[in-house]
Chains A and B, each alone.
Chain A
Amino acid sequence: MTHGRPWFRIGALALGFAFLYIPIISLVVYSFNASRLVTVWGGFSTKWYGELLRNQQILDAAWLSLKVAAITATIAVALGTLAGMVLARFGPFKGRTLFSGMTTAPLVMPEVITGLSLLLLFVTMEQLIGWPAGRGATTIIIAHITFTMAFVTVIVQSRLSQMDESLEEAALDLGAKPAKVFFLITLPIIFPALLSGWLLAFTLSLDDLVIASFVAGPGSSTLPMVVFSKVRLGVSPDINALATILIAVVAVGVVFAGFWMTRQQKIQERDAQMALAANQQMIESMKKG
């Protein structure tokens, strides 16, 4: 279906994608630049990658960030799935407006506000109950779960509301307990949504500078915090090398996940059709018998 003028569409897309990708390509190209002056070409070299791997401060920060992101994403998916379930399936209940407000507001809340408010909470809690004692990885994880679970909730909620409920109904009709239906039917069907929610929460956590800066303690600098303090002083080629590594990992990961999810969806659609057909057959035979 091509309505309107194709040259306009193609032009708009070319312009937009050039805008999106030229900065990324320039990061990658200049990471292989021998010159320290990032934007003056001084020949091909991979020395900045070596320098990056010898920078203990960056390696420590990267390891902390990866740990924080993995824990954050896992808990955020668990909480976000519950919240998405409540919003998609529970219908109206007392406090629903407050609930949905609290799950969607973090999506757009400026990070400086979230960061400051969580820090003040942690300080107050430490005064009142002595926990969390000091700030570090734990407080960063709690803060990251709070803002990333909103994204998981939206993904799960929209997946659940698009979902064909006849399979769940069929399973319940056939006598499966609700818990069994959830784990054997609902969860596998929404699994791709949970996976993308996990990846999104992981990425957002790995990427967050502002909230982490507020709630981190001394000695718990995450990767973005270290990168920010370096970048503030100007461009530096080892940061280009770091960016290139991240971009490569993400590109491979996204392509792989996309491929796997398409295959999984095909298998699932086939299974669902077979299950419904079997159910139909059983109903037919019961009518006859």
Chain B
Amino acid sequence: MSAPGYLPLGQRISSGLGDAVASFGRSSVGRGLRRLGFTGRAMVTSVPFLWLLLFFLIPFAIVLKISFSDARIAMPPYDPLLHWVDHQVLQVKLNLGNYAFLIEDPLYWKSYLNSIKIAGISTLLCLLLGYPMAYGIARSSPSTRNILLLLVILPFWTSFLLRVYAWIGILKNNGLINNALMSLGMIDQPIQMLQTDFAVYIGIVYSYLPFMILPLYANLEKMDLTLLEAAADLGSRPWESFLKVTLPLSMPGIIAGCLLVFIPAVGEFVIPALLGDPGTLMIGKVLWTEFFNNRDWPVASAVAIALLLFLVIPIMYFQRAQDVEAGGVHR
């Protein structure tokens, strides 16, 4: 994809950025670094790189480490892994008990399965609601399109927590829906909606809908409409050309949208905590309880590692798709 002169230009400009970064510090520092072989390019890369290494990647290694240690009542509440025995031998004590605990106690794997089920169903509902919306926006006139897009993004800018809270008032036994249905005489008894899985689905679909619509819209908007004209000319009915042309072409958007909804939804805490049944097993809630209520940091770490192992493949898939979509290097 790179046009001739693409790379050198980028390098020239980014080394300029490096110069600017260097001149922010004392210039002698910059000179010293350069003598050590740091170029502008390396410096531009290293600042965000080191930040992410320290605050994103290394923490996972620590979580892994602590998932192998014993819980104890102290601060921090776990045993060190490394011991000096008689000040000479460094002993490593790996405790697999936390993982054995996860396998033995059905609570944990039930929560994993239930989280996947809830996230999966919510993702599907999101797609069913989001696809027609993205389609409708992409096929509107350009001026309406911008207003509609703004309307999709606008709720996303207001507090997520408060938007989930709004559903409590709507779904509870004397809430909006039950009051409306009872005053219309359609039901005599309020329907229990809050504290059910149904409420959790609503909450997830509602909170993550923009994440589904935006990648779908970006994809559908780029689509070459002459293909549909060609299909129509060749005698295909609108519904047929949608299934055979539009839908297959929008697959990258569908995948990106589904991953953006599914991955965070698996570990969701706030929505099941506020809208779900107190007994609803979701892994994010289990991790939270282990950490904050039981103060068992090693088990919480083991839960996190197990969740991460499950999510690593979809995350890597998402990362590849994202890199290509954002105009990164094609491999």
Contacts and interface: CB of A to CB of B under 8 A. Distances in A.
Interface of A: 1-5, 8-10, 12-13, 15-17, 19-24, 26-27, 30, 37-40, 79-80, 82-83, 85-93, 95-96, 99-113, 116-118, 120-121, 123-124, 127, 142-143, 145-146, 149, 153-154, 157-158, 160-162, 165, 168-169, 172, 177-183, 186, 199, 203, 206-207, 209-210, 213-214, 224, 227-228, 231-232, 234-235, 239, 242-243, 246-247, 250-251, 253-254, 258
B323 A254 contact: no
B273 A106 contact: no
- Give the secondary structure class of A's interface: helix
A143 B41 CA distance: 26
Interface residues of B, number: 113
B66 A120 contact: yes
Contact of A89 (B14, B58, B151, B314): B14
> Which of A124, A206, A242 has the most C-beta atoms of chain B within 10 angstroms of its own C-beta?
A124
Contacts of B13: 89, 168, 172, 178, 181-182, 186
Contacts of A145: 51, 55
A186 B44 CA distance: 15
B129 A102 contact: no
Interface string B52-87: 111111111011001000000000100000000000
A182 B20 contact: yes
Contact of A27 (B48, B141, B162): B162
Interface in B135-158: 135-137, 139-141, 148, 150-155, 157-158
B307 to A, nearest CB: 6
B309 to A, nearest CB: 11
> Which of A15, A83, A162 has the most C-beta atoms of chain B within 10 angstroms of its own C-beta?
A83
Contacts of B63: 113, 116-117, 120
Given A90-B11, A104-B322, A181-B12, 12 more contacts: A38-B169, A83-B52, A86-B45, A90-B41, A90-B45, A100-B319, A108-B260, A149-B48, A158-B326, A181-B16, A182-B17, A250-B157
Contacts of B155: 20-21, 24
Nearest to B174: A39
B9 interface: yes
Contact of B297 (A1, A37, A120, A183): A120
Contacts of A158: 326-327
B158 to A, nearest CB: 5
A39 B28 CA distance: 66
B52 A102 contact: yes
A88 B59 contact: no
Nearest to B167: A23
Contacts, number: 322
Nearest to A155: B326
Contacts of B159: 206-207, 224, 227, 243, 246
Contacts of A239: 162, 165
A214 B9 CA distance: 43
A177 B16 contact: yes
A175 to B, nearest CB: 12
The 4 closest A-B pairs by CB, nearest first: A110-B267, A178-B16, A161-B327, A89-B10
A3 B231 CA distance: 12
A174 B176 CA distance: 66
B133 interface: yes
Contacts of B14: 85-86, 89-90, 178
A116 B323 contact: no
A85 B17 contact: yes
Contacts of A232: 273-274
A8 B287 CA distance: 43
Given A112-B287, A113-B304, A182-B16, A146 B55 contact: yes
A276 to B, nearest CB: 16
Contacts of A186: 13
B327 A110 contact: no
A87 to B, nearest CB: 6
Interface string B171-184: 01011100100000
A266 to B, nearest CB: 14
B56 A210 contact: no
Contacts of A183: 20
Contacts of B15: 178
A193 B269 CA distance: 31
A228 B270 contact: yes
29 contacts: A3-B225, A3-B228, A8-B132, A21-B155, A23-B163, A27-B169, A30-B169, A39-B169, A82-B45, A88-B326, A89-B9, A90-B11, A93-B45, A99-B49, A110-B263, A113-B267, A118-B59, A143-B55, A146-B51, A149-B48, A161-B327, A165-B3, A182-B20, A227-B159, A231-B165, A234-B168, A243-B158, A246-B158, A246-B162
